[in-house]
Amino acid sequence: MGRVRRIARRSFLIGSAAVVGGVAFGVWQVSRPVENPLRPERGATLNPFVIVDGDGVTVIAPRAEMGQGIHTTLAALVAEELDVEMSDLRVLHGPPAQAYYNSALLRGELRYHPEGLGGWRRVMADALGAGSRVLRLQVTGGSTSTLDGYVRMRTAGATAREALKEAAAQAHGLPRDRLATDRGHVILPDGTRIPYGDLAEAAAAVEVPEVALRPASEWRLLGRSQPRVDAVAKSTGTARYAIDVRLPGMRFATVRMCPHPRGGMARFDAARAEAMSGVDKVIDLGTGIAVVAHTTWQAMEAARAVEITWTPGPGPQTTADAFAEIEAAFDTRRNARPRDDGDVDAALEGADALSVEYRVPFLHHTTMEPMGAAALFDPAAGDGPHLTLWSGNQAPILHRDKAAEAVDLPPEAVTLHTPMMGGGFGRRAEFDFTVLAARVAQAAPGTPVQVTWSREEDMRHGFYRPGAIARMRGAVTDGRVEAFDAKVAAPSVMRQSSRRFSGFAPPGPDRAHLEGIADQPYGFASCRVEGYLCETALPVGFWRAVGNSFNGFFHECFVDELAHAAGADPLAFRLAHLDDAPSRAVLEAVAEMSDWTGATPDGIGRGVAITRSFGTPVAQVVEVADDGGGVRITRAWVACDVGRALDPAIIAQQMEGGLIQGLSAAAYEEITFDDGQVVQGNFPDYTPMRLPQGPRVAVRILESGGHMGGAGEPATPPAMPALANAVFDLTGRRLRELPLARHIRFAV
C-alpha cells in the first residue's frame, strides 16, 4: 500500500495557491514493477494534491487540463473520499515537481494485451530517462491520467478527511471513529457541524494512520457524471489560458522563425519594422526573430515587415520528396517485427492474395489556442536572475528544464505556471514555444512579455503526425483470414522526440510505430507485422493516438478489403475473427445501436471499424450520404469499453471528440511541403471539420471491469477507416489514400 505523508507549514506556496494557516496533503503510491525512488528519509520534496485552508478545499491536479475533463475527474476522486461538494472545490495545475510523475505511464495495469500497449510508455520512459530519473515523467499523454490518479487522488482525499476528523476529535475529547463527515464539515455526535477550514490548522499537527479506501459500492460521485469544474469559466470568457496572462507593464511579442525545418537565417533587416508604431525592439533569435511591441497586432505587423533571408534546411523540398524518404525505408533494414505467427509466406503462396498500399499524410494539431507563452525574466531577484513562465504545457518538468537551459539558469531559478490549455492533442508536450518565450523575456529583462505565435507561425512550425505508408498483403479462404502481412514505414516519432527531450534516441525496435497494427485483438491463421523507419529533417511528434492514428486506418481498411474478398459482411467478418470478449461486445453494441443490416439503400453508405488502443476497444459505424451535393457524413455510432467509467459524460465527450478529430483528419486534413517548407498556413488552407459537416453522434459506454482504459485518444483511430469504409460502401471506390477529399467531393 502507499505511503502517506503530510506537509504542514504555516505558509506553503504551491503554484498560485498560498496556504496560510492551512494544511496540505500529499500522497504517492509505490508502484511495481517500477520502484519509486522518492524516499522521504532522503529529504525529497513532497507535493500536495489537496490543500485545505480557510478558503476551502483546493485540489492540485497532477495532469494537464487540455479540454479532456481530467480536472473534473481528478477532483471527483478526491471529493469522493473527502466528503466535499464538487462545487466547493477549486482545481489548480500542479507545478513542475517529481511527485506529479505519471505513474500510469509506467505501470503495468494498462497492459491489456500481453504484447500490446506497453510500447510508447516504455519508449517514453527511456526517452525521459528511466530508473533514477523516472519521476521526471510528469507528462500528460497516452490516455493515462485517470488511471494515474485513480488511487492516489482518492488516498489524498481519505487522508485529509481522517486528519480533519482527528483534529476535531482531539479538540472535543472524542474518539475519531465517533465523528462523521459531510459536505465539507466534520459532524460531532451531537450534530454540531465544524467547517473543514476551521480545522485545517489543527489538522496539520495530527498523526493519521493509513486509511482504507471506500469500496465502489459506496461511491456517490464516481461512476456518475459530474458537472465539469471548468464549465462556468469556459462559458463566460473567464477561463484563463496562457495567451490571456496580463501583468502590469506587459509587452506583447511574436516570433518569426525559419520556415525551413532545420534551416537558418542568413541575415535580416529590421529597420522598417523598428520604425513602426508601438514597436519596442526586434530580437535576433539566431534562426529567426522576435518583435516586442505594445500590442500583439503591432508585433505581428512588424514581424512581417522584417526583411529576412532564410537558409534552406536539409529536408525534403516537396511532399513527393517526403514520401520518397518514407518509401525508401522499405529497402532499409527492418526495425521491428513484433508479430510473426504461423507461416505467412506459405499461406500467401499460391493463394489469390490481395496486395495493396495505403498512404496517409502529415497532419497538424491545430489547437485553437496557438502556441505561445508569457514570461518574465527578472535579472535581479534576490539570489540572482529568476525566470517565471506561464505556459500551457503537457510536461512541466521538461518545459521548465529546457527553458532554464536556454537562458542559462539552473532549474531552481525558473518558476513555471500551467494555465488552462486551448487544446493540446500532443502538441504541448513539445517545449519549443516555452523556450522561445523564455529567450524573448531574457532579451527584455524586467519586462513581462506575452509571446503569441501567429496562426501561420503555429501551422508552419508544428511537430506533425508523420506521413506513413503501409504495404499490406492478405489471403482469405472460406471466409477466414489465412494470411495477414503488414509492413509499415514512417518517420519515427519516438526517436525524434527522444532526441529532443533527452539528447539521444533509444536503439532497438520502435514499438509505438506499430501500435494499432501489431496488437489488435484479431485471431488470424497467420500474421506478420514489420516496421520500417526513416530519418527525416521534417519535425514529427505526438498527435492524438500517435501510431494508432495511422495504423488503425491501415488495419481496419484492409480487414474491410479482406471481408469484401471473402464475400462477407464486414461487421460479421470482424466478429468472426475477434478473439477478445470486450472487443466483440463493443462491436455487437455498435451493430445494435446502428441497426446494422449489412445493406444500405442507394445514396447511403455505411462503414464499420474497431480498434483497441490505450486499453480501450472502440467500435464505430459511420454513415455517409450523397444527395447530389457531395458526400455528407450524416451519422456515427460509437461503443467503447473503458473497463470502469468514472465519469460517463466526460468519457462520452472524449469519444465524440476523438471521433470528430479522426473524421476531420480522414476527410480533409493534410500538411504538404513545397520549397522545403509547409505549404498550409491558416484555416483557409488547412480546414478542420466545421459544425455543418459534423455527424449526429451516439455513444454507448460498456464497463467490463477488470481494467481501466484510456478515453482521450482511443476514439480517433477507428474513425478514419470507418469513414473510408463507408465511402467504399457508398461509391464502390476503395480509397487507400487520405485525405479522402483528394478523391471525392464532400458536401460543405
The answer to whether residues 316 and 325 touch, using CB atoms and an 8 Å cutoff, is yes
Q: Which of 18, 39, 69 is nearest to 645 (CA)?
A: 69
Beta strand residue intervals within 600-688, DSSP E? 604-613, 616-626, 631-641, 673-674, 677-678
- Is 649 a residue that touches other proteins (CB under 8 A)? yes
Rounded to whole angstroms, the Cα distance separating 545 from 363 reads 12
Could you say whether residue 422 binds other proteins (CB under 8 A)?
yes
Select 459 or 489, whichever has its Cβ closest to other proteins. Answer: 459
Peptide bond into 33 cis (omega under 30): yes
The window from 55-63, 201-209, 290-298, 373-381 that contacts other proteins (CB under 8 A) reads 290-298
Residue 252's CB is within 10 A of a number of other CB atoms, namely 22
Residue 237: CB minimum distance to other proteins, A: 2
- Answer for which of 688, 703, 744, 747 binds other proteins (CB under 8 A) is 688
Smallest gap from Cβ 77 to other proteins, in A, equals 19
CA-based Rg of the chain, rounded to a whole angstrom? 27
CA 339-486-714 angle, 5° bins: 80
Query: What is the C-alpha to C-alpha distance for residues 630 and 362, in angstroms, rounded to an integer?
Result: 25
* Rounded-to-integer distance, Cα 349 and Cα 333, Å: 24
Inter-residue contact 730 to 599 (CB < 8 Å): no
Q: Which is nearer to other proteins, 565 or 649 (CB)?
A: 649
* Residue 489 binds to other proteins (criterion: CB under 8 A): no
In a 10 Å sphere around its CB, with 0-12 CB exposed, 13-18 middle and 19+ buried, how is residue 109 labelled?
middle
Of 196, 252, 362, 554, which one interacts with other proteins (CB under 8 A)? 252
In this chain, which of 87, 182, 523, 683 binds other proteins, going by CB under 8 A?
683
Q: Is 653 in the site for other proteins (CB under 8 A)?
A: yes
Q: How far apart are CA 743 and CA 721, in angstroms?
A: 15
Q: What phi and psi values does residue 481 have, to the nearest 5 degrees? A: -80, 115
**Is residue 492 at the binding interface for other proteins, with CB under 8 A as the rule?**
no
SS3 619: strand
Residues 427-466 that bind other proteins (CB under 8 A): 452, 454-455
**67 touches other proteins by CB under 8 A:** yes
**By the rule CB under 8 A, 368 interacts with other proteins:** yes
717 binds other proteins (CB under 8 A): no
Q: Quick one: which of 235, 332, 355, 477 contacts other proteins (CB under 8 A)?
A: 235
Residue 194 or residue 622: which is nearer to other proteins going by CB?
622
Comparing CB distances to other proteins, the nearer of 690 and 745 is 690
Q: Are 644 and 699 in contact (CB under 8 A)?
A: no
Binding part of the chain for other proteins, among 289-297, 323-331, 376-384, 410-418 by CB under 8 A, reads: 289-297
Stretch that binds other proteins, among 84-92, 490-498, 529-537, 650-658 (CB under 8 A): 650-658
Rank residues 599 and 691 by Cβ distance to other proteins and give the closer one: 691
Residues 84 and 77: beta-carbon distance below 8 Å? no
Q: Is 656 in the site for other proteins (CB under 8 A)?
A: yes
Among the listed ranges 15-23, 179-187, 203-211, 232-240, the one in contact with other proteins (CB under 8 A) is 232-240
Residue 645: which of 230, 228, 224 has the closest Cα?
224
Question: Cell numbers 507485422 correspond to what residue?
Answer: 529
The residue count for the chain = 748
Residue 649: CA count within 13 A, CB half-sphere = 11
CA–CA separation, 115 and 309 (whole Å): 50
The correct pick among 122, 632, 694, 731 for binding other proteins (CB under 8 A) is 694
Asked if 542 is part of the footprint of other proteins (rule: CB under 8 A), the reply reads no
SS3 category, 197: helix
Asked if 692 interacts with other proteins (CB under 8 A), we say yes
Please report whether residue 56 would count as binding other proteins according to CB under 8 A. no
**Under the criterion CB under 8 A, does residue 423 sit at the interface with other proteins?**
yes
Strand partners, 336: 531
From candidates 15, 26, 48, 69, binder to other proteins by CB under 8 A: 69
Nearest to 643 by CA among 72, 111, 214: 111
**Window of 22-30, 208-216, 418-426, 488-496 that interacts with other proteins by CB under 8 A:** 418-426
Give the C-alpha distances (Å, rounded to integers) separating 260 from 95, 285, 426, 433: 34, 15, 22, 17
- Total residues at interface with other proteins (CB under 8 A): 64
Residue 366 sits in the site that holds other proteins (CB under 8 A): yes
Nearer residue to other proteins within complex by CB, 599 or 748:
748
Q: Are 662 and 720 spatial neighbours (Cβ–Cβ below 8 Å)? A: yes
Give yes or no for residue 150 binding other proteins (CB under 8 A).
no
Instruction: Compose the 292-331 pattern: x for residues touching other proteins by CB under 8 A, - for all others.
Output: --xxxxx-x-------------------------------
Q: What is the largest CA-CA distance in the chain?
A: 86
Instruction: Return the closest-CA partner of residue 468 out of 556, 366, 358.
Output: 358
472 sits in which H/E element: strand 468-477
In terms of Cβ atoms closer than 10 Å to its own Cβ (0-12, 13-18, 19+), residue 350 is exposed
66 in contact with other proteins (CB under 8 A):
yes
For the bound state, the minimum distance from the C-beta of residue 563 to other proteins, rounded and expressed in Å, comes to 28
**Pairing status of strand 11-14 against strand 17-20:** antiparallel
- In this chain, which stretch among 45-53, 114-122, 361-369, 616-624 interacts with other proteins, using CB under 8 A? 361-369
For the chain, the 3-state helix, strand and coil shares in percent, each to the nearest 5, are 35, 25, 40
68 binds other proteins (CB under 8 A): yes
User: Which of 103, 143, 159, 367 touches other proteins (CB under 8 A)?
Assistant: 367
**Shortest Cβ 298–other proteins spacing (Å):** 7
Least Cβ distance, residue 613 to other proteins (angstroms): 17
Q: Assess 409 for contact with other proteins (CB under 8 A).
A: no
The verdict on 178 binding other proteins (CB under 8 A) reads: no
393 CB neighbour count, 10 Å cutoff: 33
Residue 632's SS3 state is strand
From residue 542, give the alpha-carbon distance in Å to each of 20, 339, 512, 687: 40, 24, 10, 20
Q: Considering only the stretches 189-197, 328-336, 489-497, 694-702, report the one whose residues sit in contact with other proteins under the rule CB under 8 A.
A: 694-702
Binding of other proteins by 425 (CB under 8 A)? yes
578 DSSP assignment? B
CB of 663 to other proteins, least distance (A): 9
- Minimum CB distance to other proteins smaller for 13 or for 231: 231
Q: Closest distance between other proteins and the C-beta of residue 66, in Å?
A: 6
User: Under the criterion CB under 8 A, does residue 563 sit at the interface with other proteins?
Assistant: no
Q: Give the nearer residue to other proteins in terms of CB position, either 291 or 578.
A: 291
Contact call for residue 424 and other proteins (CB under 8 A): yes
Task: Rank residues 2 and 278 by Cβ distance to other proteins and give the closer one.
Answer: 278
CB-side exposure of 135: number of CA atoms within 13 Å? 19
Closest separation between CB of residue 462 and other proteins, Å?
A: 14
Burial class, 172, CB count within 10 angstroms (exposed 0-12 / middle 13-18 / buried 19+): middle
CB 143, min distance to other proteins, A: 15
Of the candidate residues 183, 304, 690, 743, the single one contacting other proteins (CB under 8 A) = 690
CB 606 within 8 A of CB 590: no
Residues 83-142 that bind other proteins (CB under 8 A): none
Among 60, 123, 222, 243, binds other proteins (CB under 8 A): 243
Considering only residues 502, 682, 704, 731, which one is a binding residue for other proteins as defined by CB under 8 A? 682
Which residues form the interface with other proteins (CB under 8 A)? 66-69, 227-228, 230-241, 243-244, 246, 252, 277-278, 294-298, 300, 366-370, 420-425, 452, 454-455, 649, 653, 656-661, 682-684, 687-692, 694, 696-697
